[in-house]
Amino acid sequence: MIDSRKRSFLPSFVRRNGRKLQGNRRNLVEELLPKLLIELPEQGDLLLEDLFAQPNLPLWFEIGFGGGEHLIEQARLNPGVNFIGCEPYINGVANLLAAIERDNLQNIRLFQDDARLVLEKLADDSLSRLFVLFPDPWRKNKHHKRRIISQDSLELFYRKIQAGGLLRIATDHVDYGVWILQNILAFKKFIWTAKTQTDWQNPPQDWVKTRYQEKAEQEGRSPMFIDLRK
């Protein structure tokens, strides 16, 4: 299997220790997580038939699912869709595993490192939807190179999303929002679906609110919602 440390980009996160897992959460990480974890092949593409019982279903992909609220609700509401969720922090993974067990969901697979490592191994035009929701803004100028949205990542996203597919980005950080739009406009290939200001100020109809968004709104930060089509 591929060594995930071999990468051509800076990771968009820094490893840190979370709260120590107890009881059922610890058991889920030890027993359920290994059954859902994606292992990247050293050579060739990552094959969906090696991951899912029904590999021909649409594939949705979430980068940095945090506590898992959005991913679990989308999977519950869309049983005819396969999901890949990427999240490096074990506490968020444990939250998601508890929900997977509770709802007996069979259509989610997980990766605990930078999502771009998985995307590079997926066949082109394989994603129906790709979600990048409230990524780390890396506020300091010297850290901007770690931001997940860049010309290189947009090119990768574009190759992996099928024609007509959706790239949904959300942020509550004004400076990062400007950065994202500048990169999208410079990239030129995606079609921004917004027609009026309210289209990016208000959440899409199928939006799932997360704890992170609720905290941001309580602190007075207004999210920006950007839907792009290939």
115 contacts 64 by C-beta, under 8 angstroms: yes
Q: What is the pLDDT of residues 55-73, one digit of tens each?
A: 999 999 999 999 999 999 9
- Give the dihedral of Cα atoms 142, 210, 71, 149; nearest 10 deg: -20
The stretch 21-41 carries a mean pLDDT of 88
- Please report the pLDDT score of residue 38 as a whole number: 97
158 contacts 190 by C-beta, under 8 angstroms: yes
Structure tokens at 109: 């697979």
106 contacts 53 by C-beta, under 8 angstroms: yes
Residue 111, Cβ neighbours under 10 Å: how many? 24
Q: Which domains does the chain have, with CATH numbers?
A: 57-229 (3.40.50.150)
What secondary structure letter does DSSP report for 47? P
Q: Which of 4-18, 35-49, 111-125, 172-186 is least confident?
A: 4-18
Choosing from 45, 114, 136, 152, the catalytic residue is 136
- As a residue count, the chain comes to 230
User: Is 199 among the catalytic positions?
Assistant: no
**What's the pTM value of the predicted model, to 2 decimals?**
0.90
* pLDDT tier for residue 5 given thresholds of 50, 70 and 90: very low
What secondary structure letter does DSSP report for 40? -
